[in-house]
Amino acid sequence: MIKKVLTSLLLVLPGLLSAQWRGPRFDVFNAKDDLPSNYIWSICQDSTGFIYFALNDQLVRYDGRTFKDYFHHPNDPASIGPGQVNKMIYSSRAGKIWMAMRREGLNAFNPVTEKFQHFGAFVANCITEDTNGQIWLGGTPSILYRFDPATEKFTTFHLADSIGVPIPNTSITAIVQDRNEANTLWISYLDLLSESGSIPEHLVQF
């Protein structure tokens, strides 16, 4: 009798499970849904769950129901900087969103005060945070910037001089810290990849 009941359950359960599972549900947002633009350069999420979209000339916050726009206002120093937001990351350590700006280097957004800070005036294509809380930005042409949030100071590295071989006059497109070697950064360009040991006293070109 027990075997018959178990057999019946095994036959019924797959049908019930397949009937309940309908796959993931996606919500699609575009300019028709109050999203200012269909062109999004970067996305990140803060500790409260808000989602942020980097657009050509603004930052957009989504709270699950509505969108809020943050524009550049020339007379308001606490507004976002001018130009495109290329990449951004959320730092739980600092409680801020760090943004690599096309025209204004580094911007920092405080989700609590909704105010922006501005650092530098250079082209920043990409951004990452290392395990020590240092912010790294990739610039053009082939320039690496390290920002210390504690001192608000930049250190600049000209990678062509560090590698010792000619590097094309191109942009740094991504920076990643090695998971196993904390002192190593991986730096990608439009047409090559470098490994930066001892961040970044020594570089190897691939």
For 6-29, the DSSP string reads HHHHHHHHHHHHHHH---------
Report how many helices (DSSP H) and strands (DSSP E) the chain contains, helices first. 2, 16
Q: If pLDDT is split at 50, 70 and 90, which confidence band does 57 have? A: confident
Q: Residues 121-149: what's their mean pLDDT? A: 92
CA torsion through residues 37, 38, 42, 45, sign: positive
* Confidence band, pLDDT 50/70/90 cuts, at residue 126: very high
Please check the confidence at residue 16 and state whether its pLDDT lies above 50: no
Distances 64 to 28, 45, 50, 52, 163 between C-alpha atoms, Å: 12, 12, 7, 11, 46
**Quick check: 58 pLDDT over 60?**
yes
CA dist 194 and 192 (Å) reads 7
Average pLDDT over residues 149-175: 79
Query: Is pLDDT of 72 > 90?
Result: yes
Give me the residue spans of the domains in the chain.
30-205
pLDDT value of position 201: 46
Residue 2 pLDDT: 45
Instruction: Give the global pTM.
Output: 0.79
Query: In angstroms, rounded to a whole number, what is the distance separating the alpha carbons of residues 33 and 192?
Result: 39
pLDDT interval class at 158 (50, 70, 90):
confident
Task: Name the pLDDT band for 9 (thresholds 50, 70, 90).
Answer: very low
Q: Tell me: pLDDT of 42 over 90.
A: yes
Task: Report residue 144 as tokens.
Answer: 């690496």
pLDDT mean across residues, the chain: 81
CA 128, 125, 88, 144 dihedral sign is positive
pLDDT at 12: 44
Q: Pick one of 2.130.10.10, 3.20.20.80, 3.30.470.20, 3.30.565.10 as the CATH number of 30-205.
A: 2.130.10.10
Q: What is the DSSP letter of 163?
A: H
Task: Give residue 193's pLDDT.
Answer: 54
For residues 2-21, average pLDDT: 47
pLDDT of residue 35 exceeding 90, the answer is no
Contact 157, 199 (CB under 8 A): no
- Looking at residue 27, its pLDDT comes to 78
pLDDT band at 148 (very low <50, low <70, confident <90, very high): very high
SS in 3 state form for 91-147? ECCCCEEEEEECCCEEEEEECCCCEEEEECCCCEEEEEECCCCCEEEEECCCEEEEE
